[in-house]
Amino acid sequence: MRPVLLLLLAAAALPDVTTGLNFIVAFPENIAYYYPTPPKNKVRITALYDNTKVGIRQYTYDYLEVQMVAGQSQEFILDAQLELAKANISSSTLQLTSNNNIAVQAISYRNNSVQTALVIPINNLATKYLIPAIPNIHGTTDIDVTVSVTERAPFKVIIVNSDKLNTVTLDGNAPLQIQLQPNETAQFWIQRQDGVRSVTAQLPVTVLFGHTCAIREGCTCGMLFTALPPTQDGNLNYFIPPSLASIDGSTFLLPSDQQSIIPFNPTTPMVRSSSAVILYRPGLLLPLIAETDFAACFVVNSIPDMQTHAVILVHSQYSAGVQVGSSPLQNPQWQPLTGTDYVWTLFDIARDKNIIWHKSSTMAVYFGGTKGDALFGNPAPIISKTPDYRGCVLNPEVLQIGEAAIGWRESIQYCQSKKLDLISISNTDFQAQIYQKIAQMQSDSPQEMWIGMRRSSKTGEWYWLNNDTVTNTDWGQGEPGTLSDGQCAGMYLIGGADFAWRDEDCCKAAFPLCYSKPVLLQNSAL
Ligand SMILES: *[C@@H]1O[C@H](CO)[C@@H](O)[C@H](O)[C@H]1NC(C)=O
Ligand SMILES: *[C@@H]1O[C@H](CO)[C@@H](O)[C@H](O)[C@H]1NC(C)=O
Ligand SMILES: *[C@@H]1O[C@H](CO)[C@@H](O)[C@H](O)[C@H]1NC(C)=O
Ligand SMILES: *[C@@H]1O[C@H](CO)[C@@H](O)[C@H](O)[C@H]1NC(C)=O
C-alpha cells in the first residue's frame, strides 16, 4: 500500500518546535489587582534531557536554580508580586534560562479564574502579530461608558519584550510607538473604535491579547487571555474538533487578518484563512492549530485541583499510531470530523506527565481543562515535528542520498565522509519509514541506490553492515540471484513509490543511501 503523504507545504504559524533555552513570561492582571485572594501564578517546565539546569529569575527579587532529568515535568509557583497590575510599563517578568531545551506552559491562577498559555522560546518569537477583532461579550464590550469596574474595562494588548532594547509599534487609527527596555512589558487598553490591527517590533516580542475579567457564563467574570500566534501567510486550513466549542452556539472564530467575528458552525468544522485564527467562547480564547503546524510529539500535563484533558486530531488513516507515553492511546473514542479526512478524540490527562507522540504521522494536540466554571486551554507545546516509529524525536534521523552514482565500497566511504553510515534496513517498521521519506524527497530521486548489505565472500550469506541479523528483506521478483549475479544489495525505486532490492555487481555505479539515527526522548521518560 502506498502511504498517504502528509507534506508540509506552506509557512507555519507556530515555530517548528516550541522548546528552547530562553523564555520571558508575563502574567497579566487576573480578575483585579485588589481582589482579596492572592494570585497563584505558575509555570510548568518539562525537561527533555538529563542534567538540565534551569534558572528561574523573577524580575529582580528572586533567583532559583533547579536541576531536572529527561521527561521530568514540574510546576513552579511564582511570587504574587510578579503579576502585572495597572501600570502601562512594567519590568515584572519571569526569565527562564536553561542549558538544554525545555518546554514551558504558563498558568495564571487566582481563585476560580484560570488561564493557561503556551510559552514560545525567545529565539522563535516573531516581530509581527495581527490583532483579531474584539469578541462581543455581553456586560463587557457592549457597555459604552468605561466605568472603573474591571469587567467593563477595555480589552488589553500586552507586549512582552525579550532581552534587548526594542522599538514596538501598535498600528491603529492613531499609531503608537514606544521603546521597551530588556525584559519589559507594555500594556495597551484597546477599544473597537481605536482600529488596532497589528503589533510590529524591531526585535522579536510576545503579544498577549485579552481581558482582565471578562463576563462569562453565569454572570461571573474571569480572566480571558491568549498568547497570539505570529502572522503568517499561506492558505491555511484549520480544523475544529467540536469539543473545543460550546454546545449552545456561543462559539466564534476570529481570523486575525480581518476584523471579523464568524459564528462557529459545527456542520462545517474547517475554516481556511491566510493567517492565524483564534477561537472564542465565553471564558476562552484559543489559537487554532493550522494543518501546516501539525507535529509529531507534544507534552501535556495535568494541573493539581483542575480537570485537564487533551484533544487530538489526526488523519483517519493514522489514528492507530497515536501513543501516550510508552503505549498506544487506550480505548480512544475516535469521531470523524464532518466533511474532512480527520478524526478526533478527547481524553483525560490522568498522570502527572504525558508525552503524546505519533509513530508515522503528524497531528494536532490541544491542552484544555476546567476549574469550577472557568475554562482554559492552549495548543500543546511541540517537542518535534518529525514522526518516528521508535519514539518522541529530539533530533531527527538523517537520510541523505549521495549526489553521484558510485561503487558500493566507495559508497561506504562517501557516507562516512558525511559522518553517516551506508544504511542498514533490517526491520519492517524502519523500512516503511525510510521508504516513505524517500518517496517524499523528490520525484526525480535516483532510481538505483546502494544499501548496507552484501554477501560474505567466505560463506555467501547476506549480512548488514551494522551487524543486525538478516531477517526482513524486500527482494524484488526473482531476487536475489546466484552468487555470480552480484555480491552487493541495491535498492530500486520504481515509479517514485515502489521499492525492490536486487543483488548487483559491487563495482556498478549507484547512489549511496546514507543514514544516521535520531536522538529520541529516553524511554524511561515516557
Ligand atoms: C473564590 O471562589 C469561590 C467560588 O469558586 C467563592 O465561593 C469564593 O468566595 C471566592 N473567594 C474570594 C476571596 O472571592
Ligand atoms: C533580562 O533577562 C535575561 C535573562 O533572560 C537576563 O540575563 C538579563 O540580565 C535581563 N536584563 C535585564 C535588564 O533585566
Ligand atoms: C497608559 O495607558 C492609559 C490607558 O490606555 C493611557 O490613557 C495613558 O496615556 C498611558 N500612559 C502612558 C505613559 O503611556
Ligand atoms: C560488526 O561486527 C564486526 C565484527 O565483529 C565489527 O568489527 C564491527 O565493528 C561491527 N560493526 C558495527 C557497526 O557494530
Measured in Å, residue 314 CA sits from the centre of ligand 1 at: 39
Amino acid at 379: P
Average pLDDT over residues 120-131: 95
CB-facing half-sphere around the CA of 291: CA atoms within 13 A: 21
Residues whose beta carbon lies within 6 Å of some atom of ligand 2: 22, 95, 97, 163, 182-183
Domain count along the chain: 2
The whole-chain average pLDDT of the chain stands at: 91
434, 332: one domain: no
Residue nearest to atom 13 of ligand 2 (CA): 182
Q: What is the position in ligand 3's atom list of the atom closest to the CA of 178?
A: 14
Residues whose beta carbon lies within 6 Å of some atom of ligand 3: 88, 189
Measured in Å, residue 470 CA sits from the centre of ligand 4 at: 15
**Higher-scoring residue by pLDDT: 16, 436:** 436
Q: Is 325 in the pocket of ligand 1 (CB under 6 A)?
A: no
Please say if the pLDDT value at position 519 is more than 50. Answer: yes
Measured in Å, residue 410 CA sits from the centre of ligand 4 at: 18
Q: Evaluate whether residue 3 is within a structural domain.
A: no
Average pLDDT over residues 206-223: 90
Measured in Å, residue 193 CA sits from the centre of ligand 3 at: 16
Q: Evaluate whether residue 10 is within a structural domain.
A: no
**At which of 331, 351, 384 does a domain end?**
384
**At which of 327, 362, 384 does a domain end?**
384
Strand 448-455 to 511-516 pairing: parallel
Peptide bond into 480 cis (omega under 30): yes
Q: Evaluate whether residue 7 is within a structural domain.
A: no
Give the range among 5-9, 264-268, 359-363 with minimum mean pLDDT. 5-9
158, 200: one domain: yes
Average pLDDT over residues 331-335: 96
Q: Evaluate whether residue 446 is within a structural domain.
A: yes
pLDDT at position 469 is 95
Q: Is 372 in the pocket of ligand 1 (CB under 6 A)?
A: yes
184, 105: one domain: yes
Query: How do residues 186-211 score in pLDDT, each as one tens digit?
Result: 999 998 889 999 999 999 999 999 99
pLDDT at position 12 is 40
333, 414: one domain: no
Average pLDDT over residues 257-276: 92
Average pLDDT over residues 56-81: 92
Average pLDDT over residues 95-108: 97
pLDDT at position 444 is 65
**At which of 351, 384, 417 does a domain end?**
384
Residues spanned by the domain of 55: 19-384
Average pLDDT over residues 249-257: 93
513, 371: one domain: no
Task: Outline where DSSP puts E strands in 465-504.
Answer: 488-494, 498-504
Q: Evaluate whether residue 302 is within a structural domain.
A: yes
Probe target for ligand 4 pocket from 424, 456, 467, with the most ligand atoms within 8 Å of CB: 467
Probe target for ligand 2 pocket from 89, 96, 163, 181, with the most ligand atoms within 8 Å of CB: 163
Q: What percent of the chain has pLDDT over 70?
A: 94
Cβ pair 41, 92 in contact under 8 A: no
pLDDT at position 17 is 87
Q: Which residues contact 101 (CB under 8 A, 6 or more apart)?
A: 17, 19, 20, 21, 48, 49, 394
pLDDT band at 1 (very low <50, low <70, confident <90, very high): very low
pLDDT band at 496 (very low <50, low <70, confident <90, very high): low
Q: Evaluate whether residue 506 is within a structural domain.
A: yes
Q: Evaluate whether residue 5 is within a structural domain.
A: no
Residue nearest to atom 10 of ligand 3 (CA): 88
Q: Which ligand is nearest to the CA of 412?
A: 4
d(CA 334, CA 312): 9
Average pLDDT over residues 174-178: 95
Q: The C-alpha cell of 397 is what?
A: 534521523
213, 238: one domain: yes
Average pLDDT over residues 24-47: 93
Angle value at C-alpha 354, between 393 and 104, nearest 5 degrees = 75
Q: The C-alpha cell of 441 is what?
A: 524527497
Measured in Å, residue 281 CA sits from the centre of ligand 1 at: 23
pLDDT band at 441 (very low <50, low <70, confident <90, very high): confident
Measured in Å, residue 489 CA sits from the centre of ligand 3 at: 73
427, 373: one domain: no
Q: Is 193 in the pocket of ligand 4 (CB under 6 A)?
A: no
Looking at residue 448, which CATH number applies to its domain? 3.10.100.10
Average pLDDT over residues 109-132: 95
Cβ pair 311, 279 in contact under 8 A: no
438, 366: one domain: no
Measured in Å, residue 115 CA sits from the centre of ligand 4 at: 55
Average pLDDT over residues 361-380: 96
375, 401: one domain: no
373, 441: one domain: no
Q: Evaluate whether residue 12 is within a structural domain.
A: no
Measured in Å, residue 331 CA sits from the centre of ligand 2 at: 47
